[in-house]
Amino acid sequence: MTEVDARPIEVLLVEDDPGDVLLTTEAFEHNKVKNSLHVVNDGEQAMAFLRREDPYPDAPRPDLILLDLNLPRKDGREVLEEIKDDADLRRIPVVVLTTSEADEDILRSYHLHANAYVTKPVDFDQFIKVVRQIDDFFVTVVKLPRVL
């Protein structure tokens, strides 16, 4: 394994619900693969983080983004569209992780080039399991592009 392969996966969680942030953080902490989870609470913060704008000038480039759709200040759909329209950001896989089961949201997310759409389970244990599965898939199964 090279030094580049050994570094943790950088994950950006874009989530405004403190409970879901806590659950996601716990799921990542208890998973066997170490990674680095960064959290922002709205769409404007997400874009500032991704573009390394104030207050995130030293933010790492995420290898994976977990994106809620229903966010304050800038909706998750707008964030997804901006990411996929930006030549520097579009290669980052985006998993929409949301409570919405609406066909319109699913279709629009894929139309905007989401890499996956996952509905958050309401059950605590199932939520933890889903987040771990996302982490396992993107860390152990999928080969992510790395910026050197």
Residue 146 domain flag:
no
Predicted local confidence at residue 17, as pLDDT: 92
Predicted local confidence at residue 56, as pLDDT: 96
How do strand 94-98 and strand 35-40 relate by DSSP bridges?
unpaired
Predicted local confidence at residue 77, as pLDDT: 95
Predicted local confidence at residue 25, as pLDDT: 85
Predicted local confidence at residue 4, as pLDDT: 45
Residues of the chain with pLDDT under 50: 1-4, 148
Residue 144 domain flag:
no
Cα 82 from Cα 72, distance rounded (Å): 16
The predicted-structure confidence for 69-95, as pLDDT tens digits, reads as follows 999 999 999 999 999 999 999 999 999
Predicted local confidence at residue 6, as pLDDT: 55
Residue 148 domain flag:
no
**Domain count across the chain:** 1
What integer best gives the mean pLDDT of the chain? 86
What is the CATH number for 112?
Answer: 3.40.50.2300
Predicted local confidence at residue 2, as pLDDT: 39
Angle (nearest 5°) at CA 112 between 109 and 114: 60
- 108: helix, strand or coil: helix
**Range(s) of the domain holding residue 102:** 3-136
Predicted local confidence at residue 1, as pLDDT: 37
Residue 41 domain flag:
yes
